[in-house]
Structure 1
Amino acid sequence: MLRSSTNSGRSSAVITGVLFIAGIVAGIFSVVPVIDGADYIVKAFTNENQVLMGAFFQLLMVVSYVGIPILMYPILSKHNKYLALGSVSFGIIAGVFIIIGVIILLLLLTLSHEFAKVGILDVSYFQTLGGLLKVGRDLVNHVAITLAFVLAMLLFNCIFYQAKLVPRWLSGWGLIGSILSISASLLFMIRFIGLDATYMMLNIPIAFQQLVLAIWLIVKKFNTTVRDCVSN
């Protein structure tokens, strides 16, 4: 039984690491440059495959964002049930917002299709509606999703730090990175900063921490035995 629990815990660590990397890769490929451009109303239609590919990879992010806290819950809940449950809750919330973001992205594509049919007759109407959709997409992607998932990771790393499942320098890095990322989203929400270099710099620490954590979980697994995690 103990050996089975240990093997299960090791498998969870490896799968979690893979999901982290999958989430990072999906996040990179979910970027849709044509939508972020000034002439997105015209170019989204002519670059439909790029938009659809971005939507597809954004949907794949749901698997990572929701799967990571759920997969780790049986282990983390042995150390702090409430923080583990909070991590799962925020992960699910992030997944819901990802789906909303995909819907908005597809609405922008539909808007571009309609504009292609009408032409320049009602350009101001399309620009206004498109502008609202873009603002909504930015708020969903860079505030709602980021805040929800980073809060999930903040609780995640709190348990890691307390239980020493990974080195404390690594989980501590995650805590600091989470706070910086949350700050970036809040500053963007109040329009103190834009999607600029400052925003990117504040998010870089948590992005690299997740990559290092993923590699650590795949290669090193947990510092303490899963037997202790499961049997206590």
Structure 2
Amino acid sequence: MNSYRKTAITVGILMLGATVAFMIGSGLIDSVLSNPEYLNHVYPNKTKLIAGMFLELMDAALVFGIGMLMFPILKQHNEAIALGYFGTRVMESVILVVSILSLLILIPLSNEFINIGATAGSYYQTIGTLVINGHEIAFQLAMLVLGLGSLMFCYLLYTSKLIPRLISVIGFIGYAALIASSCLEIFGVNAGMILYLPGAAFEIIFPIWLIVKGFNERSFK
């Protein structure tokens, strides 16, 4: 039981760490790319962009660690779902890495754009737009994979009673909303932040519960 307690605390810390790393990292990246004249700003602000990318890569690594640590816990209750959840976390991590690293193209692109001047840079603007659009689509695909895997995860949490069922229900609703949001975004519909809120609530409540209370020990008997 002591090992389960340690795993619960570790998973909780990793989840909170992933959330913080992603929020700060995406904030740094957005502060550079949200400018309408982003090609003039990427190269001069490359340190900020790279720092944001590093934090998002950290998020991807922590995502993998969460899946790896949860597998032996979930396996005791349903091996198929445990494998499915672990597989989706690996897929999510890989897609996130591809999405993040694609932004590296913008740094030399911005440098060349600045050197030749904006009036002759329509070609560079087209490439930059394609890179950013590809980055966004890959991110939404990662969120779609996260949502699908986490629906299985929350279902198993609910049936196994590893945590209070109310928290599992919040997670199920949150990830269903995330799937809807990702699908809308992929098809070009801006769903806004409202559909992220239930999932965000779960990803704060769940890790705090794990750190403070841990898994329900009776579910292992």
Same fold per superposition (TM over 0.5):
yes
**Post-superposition CA distance 1:194-226 (Å, at most 9, x none):** 2xxx43110111011111001000000012347
Match of 2:185 in 1: 188
Amino acid at match of 1:28: M
Of the three residues 194, 206, 212, the one matched with 2:199 is 206
Of the three residues 12, 22, 29, the one matched with 1:27 is 22
Match of 1:3 in 2: none
Distance 1:134 1:63 in 2: 22
Instruction: Name the SS of the counterpart of 1:217 in structure 2.
Output: helix
Matches within 5 A, 1:121-136: 122-136=120-134
Match of 1:120 in 2: 118
Q: Which has the higher contact order (CA 8 A, sep 6+)?
A: 1
Stretch deviating more after TM superposition (25-34 or 149-158): 149-158
CA contact (8 A) 1:65 1:149 kept: no
Distance 1:76 1:110 in 2: 45
Amino acid at match of 1:18: I
Q: What is the TM-score with the length of structure 2 in the denominator?
A: 0.94
CA contact (8 A) 2:161 2:219 kept: no
Asked if 1:147 is matched to 2:144, the reply is: yes
**Unpaired segments of 5 or more residues in structure 2?**
none
Distance 2:136 2:21 in 1: 18
Of the three residues 58, 61, 72, the one matched with 1:60 is 58
Amino acid at match of 2:64: V
- Aligned-residue Cα RMSD (Å) equals 1.3
Cα offset, 1:227, TM superposition: 4.5
Amino acid at match of 1:11: K
Aligned length: 218
Distance 1:42 1:112 in 2: 6
Cα offset, 1:158, TM superposition: 1.2
Amino acid at match of 1:128: T
Distance 2:219 2:71 in 1: 13
Cα offset, 1:98, TM superposition: 1.3
Distance 1:225 1:12 in 2: 16
Match of 2:169 in 1: 172
Q: What is the TM-score with the length of structure 1 in the denominator?
A: 0.90
**Post-superposition CA distance 1:26-50 (Å, at most 9, x none):** 1111111211221111111111111
CA contact (8 A) 1:9 1:226 kept: no
Of the three residues 200, 215, 218, the one matched with 2:208 is 215
CA contact (8 A) 1:164 1:224 kept: no
**Unpaired segments of 5 or more residues in structure 1?**
1-5
**Post-superposition CA distance 1:160-192 (Å, at most 9, x none):** 00100000000011001100010000011111x
Of the three residues 86, 89, 92, the one matched with 2:90 is 92
**Post-superposition CA distance 1:101-120 (Å, at most 9, x none):** 12111112221122122223
Amino acid at match of 1:127: Q
Distance 1:127 1:48 in 2: 17
Stretch deviating more after TM superposition (89-98 or 27-36): 27-36
Stretch deviating more after TM superposition (112-121 or 96-105): 112-121
Distance 1:173 1:226 in 2: 20
CA contact (8 A) 1:69 1:152 kept: no
Distance 2:114 2:129 in 1: 17
Distance 1:148 1:66 in 2: 13
CA contact (8 A) 1:59 1:98 kept: yes
